[in-house]
Chain A
Amino acid sequence: MNADWRHPALCNWFAGLFAAELTAEQLQAYQRGEGEAVLVSLSELPDLTEAVKRLRNAINGLTLLAHPQLELAADFASMFLLDGQNSPPPYASFYSSEGSRFFAEPQARMQERLEASQQEVSADFREPSDHLSVMLEYLGDGFAAHQETAERSNSGPTLDQIKTFVEEELLNWLPAFAARCQKVKTVSDLYPALAALLLEFCKGLPALDEALANESAKAASRL
């Protein structure tokens, strides 16, 4: 499997879903089936079929709720917004060896990466740089820059560098995060399913082959 045009967009899609609650507009789009293209694309990646199916079922199940947006917002809060005792905070630091503390070493490393690329977390977001969504967007940008490099010889990261980031900065805590996500009591399975899907998605990334340019070219020809 090669890295392709889908990877930057999928990373950003995940980033958006872990960054904030779904708005009414977004929810309606999912309920109209407009997320299907993304789900199908994900299911084409190796070993994601079951995880995608679970998420699709969760989305379909939302029709059973009287106030799906509010209930999902409460699920989102229970999962990601309340505390480090019962819920899985979406920060790498929380799962690091320094104990359950925010702004620990993983955040410092991520901050260094952002500073090195002259980036910072947007003022609106007001989250530490090791927030899952920030890391996923950074990863997505990495894929995009890599793709651009392959296409135009820019100086983006190599695929190995991207894989190292995934292995050293994401896969070192995402299994614990995803496991905790399964333990929170929620009305909908959407967020637990999403966390499980993200884990599988990231686990597949180190196996990507260095053939992006070719794959991208093929993908482009399909447009």
Chain B
Amino acid sequence: MAITRRQFMQGLASVSAGAMLGPGLLMRTAEAAVSAEGSWKTTGSHWGAIKALVKGGKVAEIKPLEQDKYPTEMIKGVMGVIYNPSRIRYPMARLDWLKNRENSDRTQRGDNRFVRLTWDEALDLFYEELERVQTTHGPAALHHSTGWRQTGQVHSCGNHMARALGMHGNSVASIGDYSTGAAQGILPYILGSTEVYSQGTSWPLILENSKTVILWANDPVKNLQVGWNCETHESYEYLEQLKGKVANGSIRVISVDPVRSKTQNYLGCEQLYVNPMTDVPFMLGIAHTLYTENLYDKKFIETYALGFKDFIDYVMGETDDKVEKTPAWASAICGIDEDKIREFARLLASDRTQLLFGWAVQRQQHGEQPYWMGAVIATMLGQIGLPGGGISYAHHYSSIGVSASGASAPGAFPRNIDAGKAPKHPSTDYKGASSTIPIARWVDSILTPGEKIEYNGSEVIYPEIRMVVFSGCNPWHRHQDRNRMKQAYRKLETAVTIDFTWNATCRFSDLVLPACTQFERNDIDIYGSYSNRGLLAMHKLVDPLFHSRTDFDIFTELCRRFGRHEEYRRSMDEGQWLRHLYNACRDENQKAGFKMPEFDEFWEAGYIDFGAGKPWVRHADFREDPELNALGTPSGFIEISSRKIGRYGYDDCKAYPSWMEKAERSHGGPGSDKFPLWLQSVHPDNRLHSQMCESEEFRATYTVQGREPVFMGPEDAKARGIADGDLVRVFNDRGQLLAGAVVSDNFPPGVIRIQEGAWYGPEDASIGSLDTYGDPNTLTMDIGTSRLSQATSANTCLVNMEKFKGTAPAVTSFGGPIEVEV
């Protein structure tokens, strides 16, 4: 039967009535056409300051800002982030959670159907869950966390989340971070501060005064590509000079590392190979040599340090273990010839020596010990506080070592509830549990609520966490042991994630809210996290894509649900906050003699330069007057041994630095017969942790058969029949992953590398499922470094590997839920 036009139109009207969208997706525009030439805008990022050509409402080209003389290749990945095909485009909820909320089937997490929500629906649900958790269980049931957020002081997402959720109610807080947890635990006892996030001796003074520079597990050429605020890459100028001095023999640089690092290859410097995780025996052998050969600075120790005797008794075998830590003893563990240990110790003491430590050695079980020992050696050398001498734990980070200009950085949107205000749910009843836990122990807390652990001289009782909220944070990258995380997530009632691309954290969540990227909002940032070299306007390049919103908007609207949105944003919008932060910074800087123009002029120019700072020596003031400028240690002096730590009675962090065998260790250590390879999961060369892994074209520049590279030496490859470019299954009893082999002479036998930040993509949601892309934390161990710091032990990890045979599963890391049981 033929359908008449009337019947057709009636039917069409009937099935179209009540549609979500109005009659037309297109509308007439009155706006003038955008200029075909486009315009260049300035903005910043962790990867550096950039200029972007915006044409026809789109980012067409990105190049480094003129001030950046050593830009990173990574800015080539920025467009792949903005226009990524796995952008979170709408607020989404996991279907079974939407139907059943806290009673949902949690085994489906990571492998489940989602539905789209309107922003109002999504924020109502978010708010309802917060209400339910606060009223039913109280603050012990809620935990939220952030990480390396996007840059920008107005929109810093962790601040927005913390302020909004803090105005609603209390929650389980965390302390420390995944990068430097053990350092933050130990160094305040030894040197009086965490050291890792503090300005260090200026590079020009190192270049001028040091005769020897030791890079201890430190790869600054790799790691200085990114910074906490907008990175300036100024350190590279000094590294270039150092390279010249290595070449002309005026400075000797030795990289103490099992691996030939990017920095070593760049500088053309020497390497001293040490077995993985055995830096402490090596250092004890050095201390033994310095002591027995009378090469240590007694006067410095007497004036500036305490506790040397307790330590040296241990070195000389006069404590409980009765083992003298001779170079011969050390050599058997660390793999360095005993004469070489002596020679190295003598070299350190022979002239001005700058020790530059990386963070990798403290991201292992007992990670406090190598950092403590580093400080002890530096103290024995007596050069702390001298230009080009002493020890640094941070010259590989955020251009530390580039002199600070002295100018003030802009403040930020506040993180905390305003003084005098109380949360809507003011309860502080944690039901006998702790209100704060070490950051790397949140999975333990979910799995074993009520358990007591020791931590930094106190006791922590794990709260029963039922709801988590993550913003600007990818715990499914940074935390260890994915299969254990899967078990924990089966206990969680609700997980909310605010992010801009579908990653594993989103897939394992119940409610996913799309934030826009930093390139879709106006902001302001300091140029140079520690050098404060200038002030950068972060021009919005394009409007928030799809239905994404700024964190500012998201949390303002959340607060509106309990009537406190005006208090939340202090009745200011984005533009007003920009001016407010700028003007406060301007007032502060004018007092110090740094002139800043009116806001509009700054915004138009895009950048203000504060100029270079003056050279500075870390701990010089302490050296000059240790009474007046006492350290923040209990005694005010360097504590070679710590009575305070001793009183804690920990067997895994004693009163003096000591060698303790690891739960697993390669090169003849425990477990190496079954899993002979040490897996190091260093900071990546081509990402900022997990940021930018999603950028497809850029990722393709380093992947192997679409997988994260696993770097290995020729011997280990040959022994397993693996060739460069092969797919490899890497495994241990904790998990398994696929990666692509890169065979390189940089790697010695028994050592392989998979860079952290590779996005997790299991074949399915089952425990033990093969990770299809190569996230090393599928294999790492989720234990605390010690009772002192309870930090991550990611670098204590043994594995084996084999050439992958059969049909490789598709990579599942870069998208939404991967397999749906329908």
Contact = CB atoms under 8 A, between A and B. Distances in A.
Interface of A: 5-6, 9, 13, 15-16, 19-21, 23-26, 29-30, 34-38, 40-41, 44, 67, 70, 73-74, 76-78, 81-87, 89, 94, 99-104, 107-108, 111-112, 114-115, 118-128, 131, 133-134, 137-138, 141, 185-187, 219-220, 222-223
B11 A84 contact: no
A119 B30 CA distance: 8
| Shortest beta-carbon contacts, A-B, top 9 | A84-B85, A85-B815, A37-B11, A25-B18, A82-B816, A83-B815, A83-B86, A34-B14, A74-B113
B762 interface: no
Nearest to B820: A185
A209 B385 CA distance: 88
B502 A83 contact: yes
B414 to A, nearest CB: 30
Contacts, number: 206
A20 B84 contact: no
B26 A119 contact: yes
B815 A108 contact: no
A101 B25 contact: no
A20 B20 contact: yes
Given A70-B115, A85-B812, A38 B89 contact: no
Given A101-B83, A133-B25, A37 B115 contact: no
Interface string B16-49: 1111111011111101011000000000000000
Interface string B66-95: 000000000000011001111101101001
B92 A77 contact: yes
Given A23-B19, A34-B11, A81-B114, 9 more contacts: A16-B16, A29-B14, A37-B10, A82-B114, A85-B816, A86-B817, A87-B816, A122-B25, A125-B21
Nearest to A138: B26
Contacts of A122: 21-22, 24-27
A104 B547 CA distance: 19
Interface string B781-822: 000000000000000000000000000000110111111101
B317 interface: no
A103 B58 contact: yes
A100 B694 CA distance: 11
Interface stretch (B1-9, B151-159, B431-439, B603-611): B1-9
Given A119-B27, A122-B24, A126-B546, A74 B95 contact: yes
B697 interface: yes
Contact of A101 (B3, B85, B98): B85
A26 B18 contact: yes
A60 to B, nearest CB: 15
A87 B4 CA distance: 37
B8 A38 contact: yes
Given A5-B5, A38-B11, A101-B696, A16 B19 contact: yes
B419 interface: no
Interface in B92-113: 92, 95, 98-99, 113
Contacts of A111: 56-57
A118 B8 contact: no
A26 B15 contact: yes
A137 B25 contact: yes
6 contacts: A13-B16, A35-B14, A41-B3, A82-B92, A101-B696, A103-B83
A25 B19 CA distance: 8
A70 B7 contact: no
Contact of A23 (B18, B90, B115): B18
B719 interface: no
B816 A222 contact: no
Contacts of A134: 25-26
B11 A73 contact: no
Contacts of B812: 85-86
B17 A83 contact: no
Nearest to B85: A84
B628 interface: no
Interface residues of B, number: 66
Contact of B86 (A67, A70, A84, A141): A84
Given A103-B58, A222-B4, A94 B14 contact: no
A94 B83 CA distance: 10
Contact of A78 (B79, B113, B502): B113
B546 to A, nearest CB: 6
Contacts of B12: 9, 13, 37-38
B116 interface: yes
Nearest to A33: B11
Contacts of B811: 85
Contacts of B822: 185-187
A123 B29 CA distance: 11
Interface string B116-155: 1000000000000000000000000000000000000000
Contacts of B19: 16, 20, 23, 26
Contact of B84 (A15, A102, A118): A102
Contact of B80 (A29, A35, A67, A101): A101
Contact of B22 (A41, A94, A124): A124
Nearest to B58: A103
Interface string B661-674: 00000000000000
B21 A16 contact: yes
B24 A137 contact: yes
Given A99-B696, A122-B24, A29 B15 contact: yes
Nearest to A125: B25
B116 A73 contact: yes
Contact of A108 (B22, B26, B56): B56
A187 B34 CA distance: 44
A192 to B, nearest CB: 12
A140 to B, nearest CB: 10
Contacts of A6: 8
B58 A108 contact: yes
Contacts of A36: 11
A148 B33 CA distance: 27
A126 B817 CA distance: 24
Nearest to A15: B25
Contacts of B90: 81
A81 B811 CA distance: 19
Given A20-B19, A83-B815, A101-B696, A120 B83 contact: no
A4 to B, nearest CB: 9
Contacts of A114: 26, 29
B27 A77 contact: no
B26 A120 contact: yes
A49 to B, nearest CB: 15
Contacts of A77: 92, 113-116
A82 B8 contact: no
Contacts of B21: 16, 19-20, 122, 124-125
Nearest to A20: B20
A141 B17 CA distance: 20
B692 to A, nearest CB: 14
Contacts of B5: 5, 219-220, 222-223
Nearest to B5: A223
A134 B26 CA distance: 7
Nearest to B810: A85
Nearest to A107: B58
B659 to A, nearest CB: 46
Nearest to B819: A185
A44 B33 CA distance: 42
B480 to A, nearest CB: 25
Nearest to B548: A126
A9 B33 CA distance: 29
A86 B546 contact: no
Given A26-B19, A29-B15, A137-B24, A37 B8 contact: yes
Nearest to A103: B83
Given A74-B114, A81-B90, A94 B85 contact: yes
Contacts of B1: 40
Nearest to A188: B822
B814 A83 contact: yes
Given A34-B11, A70-B115, A85-B86, A118 B26 contact: no
